Structure 1
Amino acid sequence: MNIFKRLLKIGQAEIHALVDKMENPIHLIEKGIEEMKEQLSELTEAYISNRAQLIRSENLAKNKLADAGTYEEKALLLLQKAQKEEIEAKKADQLALEALSIKKKLTEEAAEISTESIVYTDKINLINNKIDVLKFNISKWEKELATLKAKQRINHASEFANKQMANIDNNSTIELLEKMKSKIEQQEAYNDAFEEHTQQKAEQEIDYLLKRADTPKDELEELKRKLNNT
């Protein structure tokens, strides 16, 4: 089965499923369209040839009928001349009979040619119907081909985008996230250390202030130092 016949067996609803099932559906359809165009060219030549033959046959039949009419007129003219005694009646009858025989032969030939013309007409109609079907299918599959090519471009773009995203996810993004995580951990450690240092400093200052608080004993010692210094 050639590609053209295979294409005709594929329903319009099934064509898009070829994308998933076949390695190169676009090539298949392009080949099928090419075959249909070749058949269209052959049928067009056959149409022209048969049409030319039909025209020739119709003209030939018309000419034979015209000649047959001419011979009938000649036969009538001979009889008229015999009636006027311009020629012998016997001779006129003989010649008129020959003219009518030729007329009959030409009429039969014209009828036979007309019968052949009917055959050519039927062939032309059949070829013309096939041409119409081919033109319809070519137009249909060219539209399907355009749709598939557009879908393929979208699929390629999607695949490219997915690959790019996969590369980003697997490389740049993960690396970036790791760096951010490390920086966050460093910042948290710094904040914890700073908070701890601040807390320790505050505790030391509080302890120092508490130790310096005045007591009666401290005041007594201070007075003794003052007396000793005077």
Structure 2
Amino acid sequence: MVLVNRVALVTGAARGMGKAIALALAEAGAHVAAVDIDGPGAESTGIAVRELGRQSLAIEADVGSVDEIDRIVKETVDLFSRVDILVNNAGVTRYLDLMEVAEADWDRIHRVNAKGVFFCMQRVAGELIKQGEGGRIINIASIAGKGYSGTSNAAYAASKGAVISMTHIAALQLGRHDINVNAICPGMTRTAMSLTTMAQRAESMGVTAGELE
């Protein structure tokens, strides 16, 4: 187990990709802080981590708030005395045509997908630098951030493009501290959020979700 006694902080860990990532890290030996705005969902992931023989911490928090991010990092370090890995997975979207995006939609998406990722990365990097042992930061972006033509929401695509760009700069600036920063750009993944978005898009097109798939 390559991550024995390492501590991983995973945002958006209540379900879908985030939960799968948290459990994969636990299977590799890591203890996990599972963060989500859905507290019971985060606790469910924490229980699953403990069933794998690892320690866990479930944190109900909103990563769109810097104060909340500071609390997340503090609670993680208070319990485990360190953090080694950050997986910035939390994200939001909904189906919206370009002309339907309102200011509130833009702000909601970027508050979590861009601001949340940036400040989680910054705050965890601060702990990694203090520890002086390097670390790993993985930002979950999307092919939408690369201009994928099948993307249904331009505001979401912009937020994921921001994640890709900030990852490049962070990797350059944090590399001297032996902190590796990378972005992963998944395609469409069958999660509750993506299925909801697909259903919304299908309804707008007058077809079924099955036909759209």
Q: Which has the higher contact order (CA 8 A, sep 6+)?
A: 1
In the superposition, the TM-score normalised over structure 2's length comes to 0.28
In the superposition, the TM-score normalised over structure 1's length comes to 0.26
- Larger Rg computed on CA atoms: 1
